[in-house]
Every structure is written in C-alpha cells, then in structure tokens.
Structure 1
Amino acid sequence: MDEHKKGEVTPHDPTVPADTIRLPERGFGIDRKKAIIAAAICWAGWAVVVYLVTNGLTGGFDQWGLMSYRTGEELGPRGPELVFESVRDVTALGGVFLRNLFAIAAVVALLFLKLRREAVIYALTVASGWLANTGMKLLVGRERPQIVPHLTEAGGESFPSGHSFSAAVVYIGMAIAFAALSRRHSVRYTVIGFAMVLSAMVAWSRVMLGVHFPSDVTAGWLGGAGWAFLAAALFYAPAKAAADSETVRKMDPSE
C-alpha cells in the first residue's frame, strides 16, 4: 500500500511550522487587595452561619434543603436515575482521592509551566486548608442529619462540611493559580468563577445525598473559598522567595 495514502508524512510533504507559545516565567501577580476583600466577605458570611447554627436558627432552611430532593413515603431521591448518578459523580470531586489527585496534578502542571511561585502558593493553600478545616470541625460539633435516609456513607462531625470546605480550597485555589497565565481580568474572573460554581455544586450534592444540612455546606463552602482567597494573598511573598530557592528549582521538572 502506498505510504502516502496511509496518512504518513513523506519527504515530499511540506513541513508544518510549529506554533510559538510564550508563557510567563513567573506568571502575572494576583491583586492581593481584591483577594483579601473576597476573603473578608466569605469569612463574614461564615461567621453569620456559625452564629445562626449555634443559636438554632437554621431549622427551616435545613429542613427545606434536605426535603427538596426527596419524594414519596420512603423519602427517596427525586427524578430519574441519571440525576442521582450525576449527584454522586459531582460529590466524588470533593472526595479525598480525586481532590488530592487533582491538587497534585495541578502542582506538577504549574511547575512544568515554570510557574513555581503559583505552585508553592497552591501547595501551601491546600496543606494549610486541611489544618483549618480540622480546627473548624472541632470548634462546632454537630451530628449528621437524620431527617432523610443517607444515600452515601459519611462519618465524623457534620459542621462544617469537609467536602464543601476542601472542594472550595482545592478548586478555587487551583483557579487562582492558573489565572496567573493571563493578564486579562475577564479571563481570570471567568476561570475563578467557574471554580466557585463547581465547588458550590460539590457542596450542595452533600445535601442532596442527605449527609449534611444546608447550613453545613454553606459554612463549609464559605470557609473554604475564604481560605483560598486569603492564602493567595498571605502566601504570596513567602512563595515568591521560595520559588527562587534551590530546593524548589530541583523539584521543577522543566529544568
């Protein structure tokens, strides 16, 4: 069979010019003032939810949220099986395995893109976020809801939702890191906005599965988003210094 007909390139075929892609060696700096303002708004919301929960003022909201996806005498999931499968797929994005896998992959990708500063900021954000979430759970103890049957296994304290907090930290923090590839604010806001919507979907999926009160996931998401924005501002200076260190340079796979 003729080699050319196989789709293979022969010496007679013209060469295809390679595209030139220019990546910022350090990325464009984040606006730390805006990050702190966003963090303050989220943390203020978190404080309000904590106050409402500790004073027993979220009963109606929690009842409505848990019952909104249930139907019938057995309070089973509402809608077709496809909806239920989609909810389980979305909640898996906030699980320990997938979120940590994506976080590690993001750090490696940032290093390949020569964004060492962003890689350090993101790694510190995720690691410190785990400590913050653990402390928050110890601050407000709460049992998981028993209003509707649980559609997945879940253990530990209910408030705040660890899935919600961690999903917000991992995905919003990831978006902030990769937003450094563009200097255009419209691109940055779109990327970060998508991550906020995705993490919010993970949070509400926990309510649909019956393992968290709506107030749990609201506080968890606000706390996680607030931590992602706050860490991006607080860790900027030390991450910039660490990016030039010999240790981080040796970890850079592109070197």
Structure 2
Amino acid sequence: MEQRITDQDVLPAETLALPRRGWRINPVKAVVVTGICWTGFAMMAWLVHHNRTTALDHTGLLFWRNAGDLTPIGSPMVLEALRDMTALGGTLIMTMMVLAAITALLFLKLRREAFLLAITAMTGTLVEVQMKLWVGRARPEIVPHLTEAGGMSFPSGHSFNSAMIYIAIALAFATMSARHSVRYTIVGVAIALSMLIATSRVWLGVHFPSDVIAGWLGGAGWAFLASALFFQPAKAAAESHAAEKLDVITEKGRTAHQPQ
C-alpha cells in the first residue's frame, strides 16, 4: 500500500536541516597516516640534502618536454589547463578556499570543524615556511619555467598547502555524513586534486619532483596530524561562550521556519 505524503509532511524550502555531527577521523589512524607521510618526507629531505635525487629530478623535469628545444609536450590548451590547475594551490586561492569553508561550516553550526580548519591552516603555513628557510634549495633551471615562481624550492609550497588545505577541508565536511563510502569519497577527491596540483608544478618546470613529493607528503601528514593534535583545543574553543556568537543561524530563526 502506498503511503500518501501530505503538506504537513513536507518541510518548506526555507528550512535548513543541519547535519548530525559526531564523526571524526580516528586519532590513532590519523597519527599512523601522519607517521607514514612524515617518514616519507624525512627520507626525501635526507636524499635532497645528500644530493641523491639528481636522476629523479632530471628525469621528472625532462619527461614533460620535447628533447630538442625543451618546449612542453602537448597543445597550448594543455599548458593553459596546467596553469589553471596550479593556480588552485596558490596563496590567494588557498586563502579564499579556507575562508569560504570556514564560513560554510559556521553557517552549518559546525564550529568545532571551523576552528580546527583555521588552526590547521595557520600552523601548517608556519611549518611550510620554516622548512623552506631551513633547506634553502634553489629552484630548478634545467628547463624553462612556464609560470612565475619565487622563493625557495624545497618543499613545494603549492604541494604542501594544497594537500594540507584540501584534505583538512575534506575531513571537516566529511563529518556531515554517517556513511563511510561518502567520507572516503570526499577525502579521496581532495587527495587526488592535491596530487594533480603537485604534478603541475613539475610539468611547469618550477619545482623538482623531489620538491613536490616531499611537499605533498608533508602537507598531507600535517592535515592528519592536526586533526588529532588540535581536536581538543578546537572543541574547547568552539564550546566557549564567545564562540556561540559565531552561529549564523540561530535557534530562534530555525524555529520560525518550522511548519505549523
């Protein structure tokens, strides 16, 4: 027998059903993933410091170029697409993405996730800058650069920041779903996107392959480490009296939209 749906059973379009929150990545698993990523980063840093990545770096940079004049392989459309891809890991886009994600999380009353994302982004940026200063590696001059790039080369800032930010955003919004498959898909897409951004840096000639490998591993590792390390501080900040003022959608406003 079919069940009839009446007007009283349908919520108005203006009603926002906030997600049930509660999921978080298992902190033990997060630390394990961090250990794997940062072990890989440390190994790559050691190899770079002892000049043992020359073959990898030369092969990786020349792989995308024609042998004769070192021009990029592919049509101008490919070059434009790679420049668009690498822009997704730039400072401006990353900053806008973080601010947009934090705003959305606050609208959804996911203050804990918003605070955790903000802390992850700020601390991770400091870590990335310090590592660049510590290593002080110059950018590659093996092939012509196909986009503007400044600063030190190791680790790749685009690779580090895109892995850190996109994975952190994915972990924040994954809390909205109770299904493992949905959460894995969200995080998986973030990982794939950040890897494409990292690859574009080598294709454009502004980073050695070892730069982007280390950068991606470092950024991904920091995203997972921060999810465990800063969870309690973010939770405490989100539950403070001052943080309650950040709720964009008030309980009063929600009640006013409920059907009578």
Same fold (TM over 0.5): yes
Structure 2 distance, partners of 1:47, 1:72, is 33
Q: Deviations over 1:226-246 (max 9, x none)?
A: 000000111111111111112
1:85 corresponds to which of 80, 83, 95: 80
Query: Which residue number in structure 2 is paired with residue 117 of structure 1?
Result: 112
Query: Which residue number in structure 2 is paired with residue 192 of structure 1?
Result: 187
Q: Deviations over 1:189-246 (max 9, x none)?
A: 1111110110011111010000000000110000000000000111111111111112
1:64 corresponds to which of 52, 55, 59: 59
Q: CA deviation at 1:99?
A: 1.0
2:218 corresponds to which of 209, 217, 223: 223
* Alignment-mate amino acid for residue 167 of structure 2: I
* Alignment-mate amino acid for residue 113 of structure 1: L
Query: Which residue number in structure 1 is paired with residue 135 of structure 2?
Result: 140
Structure 2 distance, partners of 1:146, 1:195, is 30
Structure 1 distance, partners of 2:70, 2:134, is 32
1:254 corresponds to which of 245, 249, 254: 249
* Alignment-mate amino acid for residue 46 of structure 1: F
1:34 corresponds to which of 10, 29, 32: 29
Count of equivalent residues: 242
SS in 2 for 1:71: coil
Structure 2 distance, partners of 1:145, 1:76, is 15
- Give the alignment's TM-score, normalised by structure 2: 0.89
Structure 2 distance, partners of 1:148, 1:29, is 44
Unaligned runs of 5+ in 2: 1-6, 251-260
- The share of aligned pairs that are identical, in percent, is 55
Query: Which residue number in structure 2 is paired with residue 104 of structure 1?
Result: 99
Q: CA deviation at 1:74?
A: 2.2
SS in 2 for 1:70: coil
Q: CA deviation at 1:24?
A: 3.4
Q: Deviations over 1:77-126 (max 9, x none)?
A: 10111211110010000011111101100000011111111111001000
Instruction: Judge conservation of contact 2:20–2:176 (CA < 8 Å) in 1.
Output: no
